[in-house]
Amino acid sequence: MPSSRSPKDFFRPLAVGAPQPLREIPARPSRAIHFFDPSNEKMAAKVPQLVGTVDVLLGNLEDAVKADNKVAAREGLVRIASGTDFGPTQLWTRINALDSPWVLDDLTTLVPAIGDKLDVVMVPKVQGAEDIAYVDRLLAQLEARAGLDRPILVHAILETARGVANVEEICGASPRMQGLSLGPADLAADRRMKTTRVGGGHPGYLVREDPRRTSDGVESNDRATYQQDLWHYTIARMVDACAMHGISPYYGPFGDIGDPVACEDQFRNAFLLGCVGAWSLHPTQIPIAHRVFSPSVEDIRHARRVVAALQRDGGDGTGAVMLDGKMEDDASLKQCLVLVELAEQLSAVDPELKEKYAAIEVSDG
Ligand X SMILES: CC(=O)SCCNC(=O)CCNC(=O)[C@H](O)C(C)(C)COP(=O)(O)OP(=O)(O)OC[C@H]1O[C@@H](n2cnc3c(N)ncnc32)[C@H](O)[C@@H]1OP(=O)(O)O
Site residues (CB under 5 A) for Mg ion? 159, 183, 186
Minimum CB distance to ligand LL5AMS7Z, residue 255 (Å) = 8
In whole angstroms, give the CA distance from residue 35 to residue 281.
Answer: 5
Shortest CB 204 distance to ligand LL5AMS7Z, Å: 19
* Interface with ligand LL5AMS7Z, residue 159, by CB under 6 A: yes
| 267 is a contact residue toward ligand X (CB under 6 A) | no
Rg (CA), the chain: 23
Instruction: Using CB under 6 A, count the residues that bind ligand X.
Output: 16
As measured in angstroms, the least distance from the Cβ of 132 to Mg ion is 17
35 near ligand X, judged by CB under 6 A: yes
Binding of residue 354 to ligand X (CB under 6 A): no
Among 76, 175, 184, 277, contact with ligand LL5AMS7Z (rule: CB under 6 A): 184
Amino acid identity of residue 25, one-letter, is: I
Beta-carbon contacts of residue 361 (< 8 Å; ≥ 6 apart): 301
Name which position in 37, 106, 186, 328 contacts ligand LL5AMS7Z (CB under 6 A).
Answer: 186
Find the shortest distance in angstroms from Cβ 94 to ligand LL5AMS7Z.
Answer: 8
Angle between helices 297-311 and 351-358 (to 10 degrees): 50
Which residues belong to the annotated binding site for substrate? 94, 159
Nearest-10 Cα torsion for 23, 5, 240, 229: 120
Dihedral sign from CA coordinates of 20, 96, 125, 228? positive
Among ligand X, Mg ion, ligand LL5AMS7Z, none, what binds residue 281 when CB lies within 5 to 8 Å by partner kind?
ligand X
SS3 246: coil
Handedness of CA 84, 36, 146, 153 (dihedral sign): positive
- Residue 295 Cβ, how far from ligand X at the closest point, in Å? 26
* List of residues 6+ apart from 222 with CB closer than 8 A: 212
- Considering beta carbons, is residue 175 or 183 the nearer one to Mg ion? 183
**Which residue's CB atom is positioned nearest to Mg ion?**
186
User: Among 45-53, 143-151, 161-169, 181-189, which window interacts with ligand LL5AMS7Z (CB under 6 A)?
Assistant: 181-189
Contact call for residue 115 and ligand LL5AMS7Z (CB under 6 A): no
Closer CB to ligand X, 63 or 190, in the complex: 63
- Cα gap 262→297, rounded to integer Å: 22
Say whether residue 42 binds ligand X (CB under 6 A): yes
| Residue among 199, 187, 365, 161 at smallest CA distance from 280 | 199
Contact window for ligand X (CB under 6 A) among 216-224, 278-286, 311-319, 350-358: 278-286
Distance CA 198, CA 229 (A): 14
Position among 137, 282, 291, 356 found at the interface with ligand X (CB under 6 A): 282
| Angle, CA of 119, 247 and 36, to the nearest 5° | 40
Q: Are 225 and 201 in contact (CB under 8 A)?
A: no
Q: Which is nearer to ligand X, 146 or 257 (CB)?
A: 257
What is the C-alpha separation between 143 and 98, in angstroms, rounded?
Answer: 19
- In angstroms, the CA 46 to CA 53 distance is 11
- Helix (H/G/I), strand (E/B), else coil: 131: helix
Residue 200 is a binding residue for ligand X (CB under 6 A): no
Residues near ligand X (CB under 6 A): 35-37, 42-43, 46, 60, 63-64, 185, 198, 253, 257, 281-283
Give the residues lining the site for ligand LL5AMS7Z (CB under 6 A): 63, 124, 157, 159, 183-186, 198, 252-253
